[in-house]
Structure 1
Amino acid sequence: MNSNAQPIKLFLVVAFSCTNLLVSLTPVLAKPTLDSSRSDAYGGLRLRPQTKTTLAQVTTFNQPPIPPGPAPGGRVRGGAKRGPAGCKITKLDLTALVPFTQEANSVVNVWGQTTVEHPSWFFYVPYTKDLPYIVEFVLQEDPDSKDSKEIYRKAIALPDKPGVIRVSLPTNTPALAVDKQYRWFFTINCDKEKNSPPTYVEGVIKRVNLSAETVKELETAEPRKRYAIYAQKGIWYEALTTLAELRQKNPQDAALQAEWLNLLRSIRLDDVAAESILPVTP
């Protein structure tokens, strides 16, 4: 009996050793994450593949349905015909950082909510100040009317380098009214003579009120929590603005970088998520 037990014991030792060897050789698969050590001073992102992520669960943006009535329409990407006097060809187009939907009939609706009287908009601009382009931001009342009243117009200076810029409605302009929609335009004329069509983006913004309970929660919440509340309530403009300000104050924060990537990915703007948020210019 002892003569039979010895070969069996030897077999089990060899089998166990082989199993451990196979386990040790099994590759570990990791999801890509963000490399905070390679972000620039203005918050540009770089992707670092094949590294483990230890970031907290990112927040989900709950996009509200388009309100009843005429569809807002709009344009989230610039794209004019480029002739001899047209816009310089760039890797990425002019892009509005705003939610949009594309219907079955290919109609694009660009629409988002705000809770403040004087909100901010963010745009990815691929052109720089060395180009003689004319840039304007315009805000109108009554977006569905042919006689829309213009309430704000501002010439925009092109940045030093391509990136995401912020345009804010000044406090000395009329406040946005609650439950009223407004149409905005961001236009770049690349031809001073205006013989070529401009490249532009446009959409509709609506101011809404939050519940008293949510307002109270926001009053005591720190900025990261406020961002999460706005995102969960479908308030795009304050969610984006809060997160952009956090990223500019903490450019090396990998968790904030992941939130930014996730937020823009949720509205299908992954391609501009890695672009720098540029300092605000007067």
Structure 2
Amino acid sequence: MKSNSQPIKLFLVVAFSCTSLLVSLIPVLAKSTDDSSVSDAYGGLRLRSNPKTTLAQATTFNQPQLPPGPAPGGRVRGGAKRGGGCKLSKLDLTALVPFTEEANSVINVWGQTTEERPSWFFYVPYTKDLPYAVKFVVQDQNSNDIYQKAIALPDKPGVIRVSLPTTAPALALNKQYNWFFTINCDQQKNSPPTFVQGVIQRVKLNPATVKELRMTEPLKRYAIYAQNGIWYEALTILAQLRQKNPQDAALQAQWRNLLSSIHLDDIAAEPILSDKP
């Protein structure tokens, strides 16, 4: 009996030690599943990704190919020139729209919408204390005006929203429309206005995507539109989310990412002034 007592004692000590170690680890393991932090491969501590931040980082705007036929052309920035009547500003009048620059330096400003009456966003560097005449115009492919409206300058420089009202004709499917945003800074009209212009086309998404859009929350709808190359709805949803949550860092990051993807980094920090049609 004496010869067997030593191994038995050693086994009991080892078993007790393992049990104690397991018990001490249970709260730690439980905490790690509930906590917002996880350990990396090197044993360090890193924060678990916020779902909103992850979505923001993962979302990219897939710019569609130019439509067949003549190049859209256009102008994404309308810079003031000395002697042109417009007050010089740090940033130019800018349309928040996708554009491409061809090898011959021709700019094509073009984007898609699914809405009959979409919204446009413009960075306006001028304020209402200046006597400038501002106008927004939409034309069909035959250069006929289907909508035009005088636009009031904002209280301070920033991004404004302009929408087609319910009284305006609806955009037809698969038709291209020209739009113009002009600022005439010369009351005598001896100098040409500063302006931006581009082409918009209304398209139809497949039924499965439409169903998905109806059943999800706004930030995911933004991601779906962006991934499907639908610029105008993606921008509008993100602008609305930013206005409702001005301190949300993830939304701020996504706004910067979206504008950077179309080479408008300098506009990303400018305030969104109005969410009214």
Same fold per superposition (TM over 0.5): yes
Aligned CA RMSD, in angstroms, stands at 1.3
| 1:279 aligns to 2:270 (yes or no) | no
Looking at CA atoms only, which structure, 1 or 2, has the larger radius of gyration? 2
Aligned to 1:129: 128
Distance 1:89 1:160 in 2: 17
- Residue from 239, 247, 253 that aligns with 2:248: 253
Partner residue of 2:87?
Answer: 88
Query: 1:99-178 residue pairs with structure 2 within 5 A?
Result: 99-142=98-141, 145=142, 148-178=143-173
Q: 1:281 offset after TM fit, Å?
A: 5.4
Q: For the Cα contact (< 8 Å) 1:80–1:197, is it kept in 2?
A: no
Q: How does 1:226-265 map to 2 (within 5 A)?
A: 226-265=221-260
Partner of 1:41: none
Amino acid at match of 1:273: A
Distance 2:64 2:118 in 1: 18
Q: Residue 198 of structure 2 aligns to which amino acid in structure 1? A: G
Shift of 1:80: 4.5
Contact in 1 for aligned 2:240/2:275 (Cα 8 Å):
no
How far has the Cα of 1:197 moved from its partner?
A: 1.3
Task: From the two aligned structures, give the one with the greater helix fraction.
Answer: 2
Which structure ranks higher in relative contact order (CA pairs < 8 Å, sequence separation ≥ 6)? 1
What TM-score, normalized to structure 2?
A: 0.79
Which amino acid in structure 1 is aligned with residue 258 of structure 2? Answer: L
Q: CA deviation at 1:280?
A: 3.8
What percentage of residue pairs aligned between the two structures are identical?
76
Residue in 1 that maps onto 2:32: none
**What SS is found at the alignment partner of 1:178?**
coil
- Determine the C-alpha separation between the residues in 1 that align with 2:60 and 2:81: 36
Give the 3-state SS of the residue equivalent to 1:182 in structure 2: strand
Counterpart mapping for 1:36-47 below 5 A: none
On the 8 A contact 1:133/1:192 being kept in 2, the answer is yes
Offset from partner CA, 1:70-96 (integer Å, 9 cap, x none): 00000000024331x610000000000
Partner of 1:270: 265
Letter in 1 for 2:167: N
Distance of 1:236 and 1:225 partners within structure 2: 15
In the aligned structure 1, how far is the partner of 2:162 from the partner of 2:58? 26
How many residues align structurally?
Answer: 225
Aligned partner of 1:186 among 181, 185, 203: 181
